């Protein structure tokens, strides 16, 4: 009887040990898979350039377009100022002519 009880206890303990071993193996496999995926993602991100070439190309195109637009606006402004100066001189001359004809 004592032997049967001892064997039953040993059998229960072995079953528990098997469950613990199986769970440990499963956790190790899951952790290693998580570590693998995380490490690969980290490596890929760390090796990726800070800024993509496409972003740099678009930024460069935007800058060139901005510069060209500003130059066009400045050129148009100069032309308008020159036309305004011409008109102001003409108006001044009209005023002088009107004053001279009254005297």
| Digit-coded pLDDT (tens) for 9-66 | 888 888 899 999 999 999 999 999 999 999 999 998 888 777 788 999 999 999 999 9
* Domain encompassing residue 19: 1-48
List the alpha helices (DSSP H) in the chain. 2-47, 53-102
Are 40 and 22 in a shared domain?
A: yes
The structure's pTM equals 0.49
Taking CA atoms, 19 is separated from 2, 16, 44, 69, in Å, by 26, 5, 37, 74
Are 67 and 102 in a shared domain?
A: yes
Are 18 and 43 in a shared domain?
A: yes
| Distance from C-alpha of 7 to C-alpha of 13, rounded to nearest angstrom | 10
Are 40 and 77 in a shared domain?
A: no
**How many separate domains does the chain show?**
2
């Amino acid at each position: 009887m004592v032997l049967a009880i001892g064997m039953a206890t040993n059998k229960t303990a072995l079953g528990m040990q098997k469950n613990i071993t199986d769970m440990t193996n499963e956790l190790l496999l899951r952790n290693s898979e998580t570590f693998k995926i995380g490490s690969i993602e980290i490596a890929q991100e760390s090796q990726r350039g800070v800024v993509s070439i496409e972003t740099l190309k678009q930024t460069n195109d935007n800058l060139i377009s901005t510069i060209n637009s500003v130059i066009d606006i400045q050129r148009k402004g100069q032309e308008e100022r020159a036309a305004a100066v011409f008109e102001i001189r003409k108006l001044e001359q009209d005023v002088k002519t009107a004053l001279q004809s009254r005297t």
